[in-house]
Every structure is written in structure tokens, then in C-alpha cells.
Copies of this chain bind each other. A is one copy, B any other.
Amino acid sequence: MSLKLIGRPLAPLVERLARLSSLDDADREKLMALPHTLRTVGPSTHLVRDGDRAEACWLLLSGFAYRYKITGEGARQIVSIHIPGEFVDLQNSLLTVADHSVQTLSEAEVAVVPRQALRDLVLANPAIARALWVDTLIDASIFREWVVNVGRRHSRARVAHLLCELCLRLEAAGLSRGRRYELPMTQEQLADAVGLTSVHVNRVLKQLAEEGLIRRDRRSIIIEDWNRMRDTGDFNERYLHHDPQRLAAP
């Protein structure tokens, strides 16, 4: 269902990109004017399915989503979690067939941007092209960190690392209150993000809570002791590249 939202619906995207790369007012206007359709979708809605032909790019305006793949044995691995303001499949603009699926975690407002519109915008605006490229590079950096997380860290560290990452990303987007944030994920989904089982994630969370590193309140996470979480999660935020990237303008 299409619906009109107030004002400038794409603002979260523009703010995000402007944090990553310098954009002048004209660039921002052009981004805001990107043709799109707004939709509100429920939790567990598939936005993209593995194997789909790419037709549009989905931009998350509110709510959470995740990308995942299913192995031949039927196991699911979540490869990324997305927060408002992020494109969940920017690759659809240029690659022809989706190599993974995208599903919402919560109810979400999304903007559907036709693939061609994005290509045209990028072709005509080098600064926007650069901003989107930076976005893709940071995405890739996060994937690399996830490879390390599931490949070489113990269960405690994996879970702590993920919780630290989400906390900082939400903070950068202005979506957390202090060290507390909503995390609308089941323990099974958390498990699929860190390559463990839900049973084990449950034990790890329990232990982290008992030791006073975190507190859990329904689907909220409160990081009680950031320093110890950082240590047990072997977390170094450099890979998020949140430091200002705005170098001398093009």
C-alpha cells in the first residue's frame, strides 16, 4: 500500500550519506527528489528474495531489517542487520540478480527506489556516486568484521561484539538513548547472526547479564558496562568508519 508521508521522507538517507561523504545543498536536494514509493510493511516481510531479478532498491526509513542466506543444509546465516536510513540492497542498482534475501525484523517504513532512477542519479552526480560508493565500502568493512567474528571469536565475544556494534551504529544514527536500544530480534535470529544456536546465545546472554555487562528488558538491550563489553567483545569501532570522512570537497 502506497501512502503519502509528511515532508521529506528521504531525509534519514540524506543525513546518513552526508555523514559519510561531503554533499552540497544541490546534491542533497537531488537525493531528496529521488523518485520513490513509500510503503509500510509488517514484521517478517520479505523485501528481496535470493534469486530475484533486481528491479528496485529498498531504503529503510524506520524499523529494522536483515539480510540472510540459507545453506544447502537449510541453516540460516544472517549477514547483516540494518537500521533506519540505510539502503538494504544498494547492490540491486547494478547487479542483476539478488544473491541473498532481505527481510524486515519489525514493522518498517520503506522507500522503493527504481533501480534506473538510482543509476541515472549516480551517473549525473559524482558527489552522490561517491557517497554511495563510500556507503558500499563501509558495508563491506562490516562484512569483513563479521567474517572475523564468526570465524575466530568465542561465543561470548561474538555476542558481545554484535551488541556493541548495534549500539554504536544506532547511536551514530541518533536512535539510542544512552546505552539502551530496542533490538527487535529473537535469540534465534541473534544466533543466526553470530553463527551459534539459540540455546547457546541464551546462555551467553544470561551470563553477560549475571556479570553485570548488560541488562535485558523485553526486547531492549542496556549496556551496563561499556568498557567490559568492549573488552569481552574484542570490539574496536574503527571498522565502522564513523569518524568524519568529509575530506576536502571533490
Interface residues of chain A, those whose CB is within 8 Å of chain B, are 21, 51, 67, 69, 71-73, 75-77, 79-80, 90-91, 94-97, 99-100, 119, 122-124, 126, 129-130, 132-134, 136-141, 143-148, 150-153, 157, 194-195, 231, 234, 238-239, 241, 243, 245, 247, 250
- The answer on a CB contact under 8 Å between B148 and A96 is no
Q: How far is the CA of A123 from the CA of B27 in the complex (A)?
A: 14
Nearest residue, chain B, Cβ from A235:
B72
Report how many copies the assembly holds. Answer: 2
Q: How far is the CA of A80 from the CA of B133 in the complex (A)?
A: 19
Q: Nearest Cβ in chain B — how far from A142, in angstroms?
A: 9
Can you name 5 A-B pairs with beta carbons within 8 Å? A69-B144, A71-B234, A97-B238, A139-B140, A147-B147
- The A contact surface, by secondary structure, is helix
Contacts of A95 in B (CB 8 A): 134, 137-138, 141, 241, 245
- The answer on a CB contact under 8 Å between B241 and A69 is no
- The answer on a CB contact under 8 Å between A140 and B136 is yes
Nearest residue, chain B, Cβ from A243:
B96
Q: Nearest Cβ in chain B — how far from A52, in angstroms?
A: 11
Contacts of A77 in B (CB 8 A): 147-148, 151-152
- The answer on a CB contact under 8 Å between A137 and B247 is no
Given the known interface contacts A94-B137, A133-B136, the answer about A71 and B144 at a Cβ–Cβ threshold of 8 Å is no
Nearest residue, chain B, Cβ from A94:
B134
- The answer on a CB contact under 8 Å between B150 and A151 is yes
